[in-house]
Structure 1
């Protein structure tokens, strides 16, 4: 994940936490930290959170995020301790028991 995506994700998380605080407790953390909703710093933070939300839409449809597991390699479905042995080849090589032991 590149730096722009990380910054956008961080700002979206900050915005989500702020909206959660507003919804549950009627407390605007950004406004209280930066001097009210009408202050320049609060408006800049609100604008950056909004732009990050728009950028996050592109992250949602990014093909890289859909194939995150493929970048780690192929999936192994065996146990982590050992691999399962394949005995089918040994059974095919074994001679038939056609002879009689009398």
Structure 2
């Protein structure tokens, strides 16, 4: 009886300690991309994040011209020649397989 109580206590302590620990917060999932104004650059989507299906749609951004080639899975980005600074390119990904 004492042995089973001992194992129960140890198991209970382990379960509680894992349940009370805070999960690691994910930061900077997608790394920043540097683009020079007025020039075009390309990035392979799978280098930015992993997905089973890379069916993505980009939202309009006044500072970036965006083209996506589904066959090569590359994003072609061209920054406006008058733009200087940081901007975000929002997108929607179909994560359903």
> Which has the bigger relative contact order, CA under 8 A and spacing at least 6?
2
> Which has more radius of gyration?
1
The structure with the greater share of residues assigned to strand is: 2
More helix, by proportion: 1
